[in-house]
Structure 1
Amino acid sequence: MSLLKVSGLGKSFGGVKAVDEISFDLAAGELLALIGPNGAGKSTTFNMVNGQLRADRGSIKLDGHELIGLPPRSIWKLGVGRTFQIAETFGSLTVVENVQMALLSADGKLLATWRKAAGHKRDEAVELLDKVGMAQQADRPCADLAYGDVKRVELAIAIANNPKLLLMDEPTAGMAPKERNELMALTKKLVVERSMAVLFTEHSMDVVFAYADRMIVLARGRLIAEGKPLEIRDHPKVQEVYFGSGKTFEKKAADKELA
């Protein structure tokens, strides 16, 4: 049964169709990679699921709840977490305080009466840090961490509200190969433990083919292929558009639009 169901999703900017009637689904406990060449519509799709952009048409349902029209915070409350291409943490706070801030927000206390992060659910925050291998650095300022460790802290923050769906935008960007594999292996473990679904964009194909359960491929705003990694690797259209130059597909698409 699908946890996330996207149907006929579309978004235009002026006369340009950034996302053109795409549909896909995602089950709990599954990692789905969203890939494609630059300008394919990946970020636009991602941001519509998260509520940062509103779709012009179509439907995005999470566990039966329609997400289109909801602000990002309401979508977050329904069980959607997110990490960013450039890690988002408070450098002036300690590692554990960053996670405690996320727990405060999950409890709805950030906008009510201010409480010091240090006094809120420290044990629970440390437990989350332990899951990402950062418990021993709990009291270090985030500003002092190596970038790979910051990404781990961001992951702990993203799962603080126990999301059903985790959106990961270029999770391994800027990381060395060893760090990339460690972070994605950790994500895979959390997916299994929590029956959590993950939708992620990624340019490192070694990461995608090693850790994705399924893949969807976009080109010029259209979904051109979906399937398991080995199916995608051997898909002629994907080889033409993404792994090759893409010139043939772009010419056909342009001819179709002019027709």
Structure 2
Amino acid sequence: MTGTLLKVENLGKSFGGVKAVDGISFELPPGELLALIGPNGAGKSTTFNMVNGQLKADQGSITLDGQELVGRKPREIWRMGVGRTFQIAETFASLTVVENVQMALLSHDRKLFSTWRRAADHKRDEALALLDQVGMKSQADRPCSVLAYGDVKRVELAIAMANSPKLLLMDEPTAGMAPKERNSLMALTKELVIQRGMAVLFTEHSMDVVFAYADRMIVLARGRLIAQGKPLEIRDHPKVQEVYFGTGKTFEKKAAAVGEAA
């Protein structure tokens, strides 16, 4: 796929006298997984929250299919086709798996507060289809409270897909997961990207996940974008080695398998 879905230009945000994000620019086309990485305090979460509308940018522009996102509320951005998952999975533990997805479908149809119909009567088939895509249809009628954490993350992904997003934002998607669960979730995400032609912007601390699944990477340090490119280009980038990884020993170890496979 060609063209640009998400375009960020000269984006900036300050808190007091501290520039959390300092004039960064990048683009994201459909059908791509873009990893946003950097050390603690680099500005990743601030950037993420400005794209999602939780924070308003002090300067710059964020456009989705040419439509400006700066100044819009998160709910409006969600209705424009931006889904999101969180570092700590957010589901209703007291509801069943399928009811969690149905609640998201209700919200997307603007019926959550305008109807007295039970969620169980609303688009169950559509909810089950979403659960089938993430491998959770067989557990549809179980309460979320009894699920393993990896399964909860899959349910959250199904919820995030309820608005048929063009862009999916994933904040530390594999946090708290075992290696096998991490790979399973990201392989599923990659498959959905290919099937749906959507784009994914994700933050992640696990370099094995980043190198295995990101099509490109952008690297922030102290609020500034210091590098962007394909994973193997980032691995060998001198500024990245110096600023983000110190000596680079840990980084090179994590990336070794990718280099050998290339």
Pairwise TM-score range, normalised by the shorter structure: over 0.9
Partners of 2:140 and 2:34 lie apart in 1 by 31
2:126 aligned partner: 124
Spell out the pairing of 1:233-248 with structure 2 (5 A cutoff).
233-244=235-246
Spell out the pairing of 1:98-247 with structure 2 (5 A cutoff).
98-244=100-246
Shift >6 Å, 4+ stretches: none
Q: CA deviation at 1:5?
A: 0.2
Q: CA deviation at 1:245?
A: 5.9
Q: Tell me the secondary structure at the aligned position of residue 224 of structure 1.
A: strand
Q: Match of 1:27, as an amino acid? A: P
Spell out the pairing of 1:21-40 with structure 2 (5 A cutoff).
21-40=23-42
Q: Match of 1:30, as an amino acid? A: E
Q: Match of 1:180, as an amino acid? A: R
CA deviation profile, 1:67-125 (whole Å, cap 9, x unmatched): 00000000001100000000000000000000000111111101212321111111111
Partners of 1:245 and 1:86 lie apart in 2 by 31
Partners of 2:235 and 2:5 lie apart in 1 by 26
| Identity within the alignment, % | 83
Residues 1:2 and 2:4 aligned together: yes
CA deviation profile, 1:181-205 (whole Å, cap 9, x unmatched): 0000000000000000000000000
Residues 1:63 and 2:65 aligned together: yes
Partners of 2:103 and 2:71 lie apart in 1 by 27
Unaligned runs of 5+ in 2: 249-262
Partners of 1:44 and 1:228 lie apart in 2 by 23
Q: Match of 1:179, as an amino acid? A: E
1:42 aligned partner: 44
Q: Tell me the secondary structure at the aligned position of residue 5 of structure 2.
A: strand
Partners of 2:50 and 2:116 lie apart in 1 by 31
Q: Match of 1:191, as an amino acid? A: V
Normalised TM-score (structure 1): 0.94
2:251 aligned partner: none
Q: Tell me the secondary structure at the aligned position of residue 232 of structure 2.
A: helix
Q: Match of 2:193, as an amino acid? A: V
Q: Tell me the secondary structure at the aligned position of residue 163 of structure 2.
A: coil
Q: CA deviation at 1:243?
A: 1.9
Partners of 1:188 and 1:243 lie apart in 2 by 26
